[in-house]
Amino acid sequence: MSTKTPEKHEFQAEVKQVLDIVVHSLYTDKEIFVRELISNASDATEKLRHTQLTEKAVHDADLKLEIKVESDEEKNQIVIQDFGIGMTRDELIENLGTIAHSGSKAFLKAIQESGEKNENLIGQFGVGFYSVFMVADKVEVFTRTWREDGEALCWTSDGSGSYEIQESDATTQRGTRIVIHLKDSYKEFAEKSRLETIINSYSTFIQFPINVNGEALKTMSALWLKNKKEISDEDYKEFYKFQSKAFDDPQFWLHFNADAPLEINALLFTPTENMEGFGFGRMEPSVSLYCRKVLIDEAPKNLIPEWLRFLKGVVDSSDLPLNISRESMQDSSLVQKLNKVITKRYLKQLEEKANKDPEAYDIFWKRFGIFLKEGVTSDFTHKDQLLNLLRFESTYTKEGETTGLGDYLSRAHESQKDIYFLFGPTRNAIEKSPYLEAFKSRNIEVLLTFEPIDEFVMNHARSFKEKSMTSADSADLDLEAVAPVTETDSKTEALNPESEQSLCEFLKTTLSDIKEVSTSTRLINSPAMIVNGDKMMTAQMKKMMKAMQKADGMPDADASIHLEVNPKHPLIKNLATLHTSKPELAELIARQILDTARVSAGLIEDPTELVERNYKIMEQLSETVS
């Protein structure tokens, strides 16, 4: 109800064009207008709170600082009211008559220049306000400034290019009340449940109470902006469950702030369980991006590396140059800076956890170590930090216990230039393989890797602290230069040089599909083994190459096999005699030795021939005995 004739004003030049962009093109989701108006109400209330600290005379000083939202489905209206700083006539013209003018931005600049700091201002009042015209055909803004001598005013517009301002006695309370007359096609927003859903999605962490139709919504304090000393463990756990919609407690959390290269307030949680490990499919990123407590993106791309997708929590940065809709960021390089800062700080926390609380880190590793391994294979920037966090079982640890690469090197022989590893399906299978014999006899530690990703990890790692990652089944290993043999059977004689040469020639002729045959200085108890010419070429990679070669019609991968035989082993010594006396049986045994070596190397796919040949050998041997 007005007391004077309204004053008609035209919007600033080119307003119609700008309004058309705001209403029809700027925002993806129409519901954003609720977020913008709630944010503006929060800004206005925060400004009043700040003003009360410096001004003695404030109109309606006893009014509760809260935000009220009322919906009326019959009238097709929404009312959003705050008891904040309010606006004068000049401020109405300046803030609502000028598109893209930001009263909050100017206020923030003012208090920054005065040497103070306020994280609770959201900003961008002008354009955010005009998002309401996406859903409204008329908007009334009733406002009364905080000053005692202020006047109550009403600003009215249909968003077509002009507005009216007049005195009003509809409200004498300090603050701003916005009455939104919804278009018929947007009646849904007048539903109480719809409004509550939107507010809960975007404005959960607004610091002032929000009431919808007289009922208080459950809001949560923006914990990430608080001093860590004021927050209890229970507060962190409650926040985690609320923000992440989780039922379990977090394993641990990281709460930090930074001023450079960007202003960041972050609260990151490491869950207790790895849901991917339970077969629930690939996890989606769960770290939300906020700007001064207002949700910008629930799951922004590239905010954290893909391999940290198990993290949950909040990152808030007031330095983000948002576009005028707040729906996206203009400079992706800033997101990359955020990514680097967050990743670096989280890895630092893991390093501290591994050093100061190894038992807790061991629990983390068993559940989330697979993600760090993924990081080694995909994130060159953080590879060195990640390598320091890797854990593996080894020939020096008990089953189920792990060791890091740093600890491995602390036990390495002085002349050792490599970090040795061996891949296999299980620890038992690896320990019984012929490849460890030379290492055991010299007390050289070998890392035991079981997961398929481990091969790719070692391949991408290449080295750690200038020590090369080397597979223990590699051909050119000079272990004698690392350490002498401590276990040996001096009574066992090897084949003489002539017999060795004759046997190798026989095997090369008989097994013509392989590349090389030689006698071994590494084998102790096993008769033979297949070695790799490439230090990093593991059995699984050989299988993949073999499959690709078959698919492409390329030569069989067996053409690259190098077979080493133990000249001291009874079977090999007997074969050296047998290939001249019983060549047919010797050929069967030779092929059986090769296929058995393939089994140990994890290369055999179809054991049918091996089984059939085994029966033939037994048949011939039984005929000899009988």
Range with the lowest mean pLDDT among 49-53, 94-98, 409-413? 94-98
Report the distance separating Cα 129 and Cα 38, nearest Å.
10
In DSSP terms, 80 is beta-bridged to 69, 178
Domain 497-625 has CATH 1.25.40.10: no
Of the ranges 42-46, 95-99, 116-120, 617-621, which is most confident?
Answer: 42-46
Query: CB atoms < 10 A from the CB of 142, how many?
Result: 23
What's the Rg (C-alpha) of the chain?
Answer: 37
Mean pLDDT of 459-466: 94
**What's the pLDDT at 297?**
83
- What does the pLDDT read at residue 9? 87
Average pLDDT score, the chain = 86
| DSSP reduced 3-state for 531 | strand
Tokens of 172: 């004498």
CATH of 7-216, one of 3.30.565.10, 3.30.450.20, 3.10.620.30, 1.10.1040.10: 3.30.565.10
Q: Please answer whether residues 549 and 503 qualify as being in contact, where contact means their C-beta atoms are separated by less than 8 angstroms.
A: no
Cα end-to-end span (Å), the chain: 120
Note the pLDDT tens digit of each residue in 430-439.
999 999 999 9
Residue 33 has pLDDT above 80, yes or no: yes
pLDDT of 11 reads 77
pLDDT value at position 121?
47
pLDDT bin (cut points 50, 70, 90) of residue 521 is confident
State residue 114's pLDDT score. Answer: 60
Give residue 3's pLDDT band: very low, low, confident or very high (50, 70, 90): low
Residue 59 has pLDDT above 70, yes or no: yes
Decide if 587 contacts 581 (C-beta within 8 A).
no
Greater confidence (55 vs 77) lies with: 77
Is there a shared CATH topology between the 390-481 domain and the 497-625 domain?
A: no
Position with higher pLDDT, 120 vs 382: 382
CATH fold of the domain at 390-481: Rossmann fold (3.40.50)
Q: What is the pLDDT of residues 220-273, one digit of tens each?
A: 889 999 999 999 999 999 999 999 888 889 999 999 998 877 889 999 999 999
- Would you tell me which CATH number, out of the four given (1.20.120.1200, 3.40.50.920, 3.30.230.80, 3.40.50.1370), belongs to the domain 223-366? 3.30.230.80
Predicted confidence at residue 350, as pLDDT, reads 98
Question: pLDDT tens digit string along 354-403?
Answer: 999 999 999 999 999 999 999 999 999 999 999 999 999 999 999 999 99
In the predicted model, is pLDDT for residue 347 greater than 60? yes
**What's the pTM value of the predicted model, to 2 decimals?**
0.80
Q: Tell whether the model's pLDDT for residue 131 goes beyond 90.
A: no
- Separation of CA 226 from chain center: 25
Please give the pLDDT value at position 159.
Answer: 86
What is the DSSP code (8-state) at residue 2?
B
The alpha helices in 24-124, defined as continuous H runs, are: 32-54, 89-96, 103-113
| Domain residue extents for the chain | 7-216, 223-366, 390-481, 497-625
Q: What average pLDDT score do residues 51-74 get?
A: 93
Q: Which residues contact 430 (CB under 8 A, 6 or more apart)?
A: 422, 423, 424, 436, 448
Evaluate whether 293 touches 249 at the Cβ level (below 8 Å): no
Helix then strand then coil, % of the chain, to nearest 5: 45, 20, 40
CB within 8 Å of 347: residues ≥ 6 apart: 382, 385, 386, 389
Higher local confidence (pLDDT), 486 or 568? 568
Amino acid at 306: E
8 Å CB contact between 165 and 159: no
Contact 145, 174 (CB under 8 A): yes
CA dist 268 and 282 (Å) reads 19
The DSSP symbol for 560 reads G
37: nearest Cα among 179, 183, 150, 220: 179
Q: Tell me, what's the pLDDT at 122? A: 45
pLDDT of residue 112 exceeding 90, the answer is no
Residue 320 clears pLDDT 80, i.e. is over it: no
331-335, 345-349, 477-481: range with lowest mean pLDDT: 331-335
Interval 155-195: pLDDT, tens: 999 988 789 999 998 778 999 999 999 999 999 999 999 99
- Burial status of residue 442 (CB atoms within 10 A of its CB: 0-12, 13-18, 19 or more): middle
Tell me how far apart the alpha carbons of residues 350 and 341 are, in angstroms, rounded to a whole number: 14
Least confident of 48-57, 90-99, 367-376, 603-612: 90-99
| Average pLDDT of the residues in 84-96 | 90
Q: For position 396, what pLDDT does the model report?
A: 97
3-state secondary structure of 337: helix
Of 262, 290, 293, 266, the closest CA to residue 118 belongs to: 293
Q: What pLDDT is recorded for position 620?
A: 83
Identify the band that residue 557 occupies on the pLDDT scale cut at 50, 70 and 90: low
Kindly tell me if the per-residue pLDDT of 104 is higher than 70: no
Looking at 29-43, 76-90, 97-111, which range is the least confident one?
97-111
